[in-house]
Copies of this chain bind each other. A is one copy, B any other.
Amino acid sequence: MFNLSVRDHFMIAHSFRGEVFGPARNLHGATYVVDIEFERPELDPDGLVVDIELARTSLKRVLDSLNYKNLDDVDEFKGINTTTERLAQIIFSRMAEEILEGALGQEAKGLTSMTVKLNESHVAWASYESKL
């Protein structure tokens, strides 16, 4: 099994609802350093898992849709806690759409699974992984 990963980041504000969150119920924020991993059983004819430049461009487009925002004000996220693990899943879904729409090239259809990891500090990170 082959994997390729690229890294980028975004910075948002948000707050959480629920006793479990303690002081994180206040409006605060985070830098998320994002590692996205693409997986496939065989390389494409160029010897690649995916075109790395297209993958970077797609990831940047997806992160730009979140970057420099207060997630509490985003309609789509009303009523959900935008925890690190949930954001990983949201980014996964948007990247999966990018693949389906061909933004990562025709060969990206050979990708079989993907993992999105969000590093929120030097001591905590979360990820969402699924088949494609």
Contact = CB atoms under 8 A, between A and B. Distances in A.
A50 to B, nearest CB: 9
Interface string A10-43: 0111101010111110111111110000000001
A29 B11 contact: yes
**How many identical chains are in the complex?**
6
A100 interface: no
Interface size class of chain A, counting residues whose CB lies under 8 Å from the partner chain = 35 or more
Contacts of A6: 123-124
A70 B26 CA distance: 8
Interface of A: 1-9, 11-14, 16, 18, 20-24, 26-33, 43, 46-49, 51-53, 67-70, 80-86, 88-89, 105, 117, 120-130
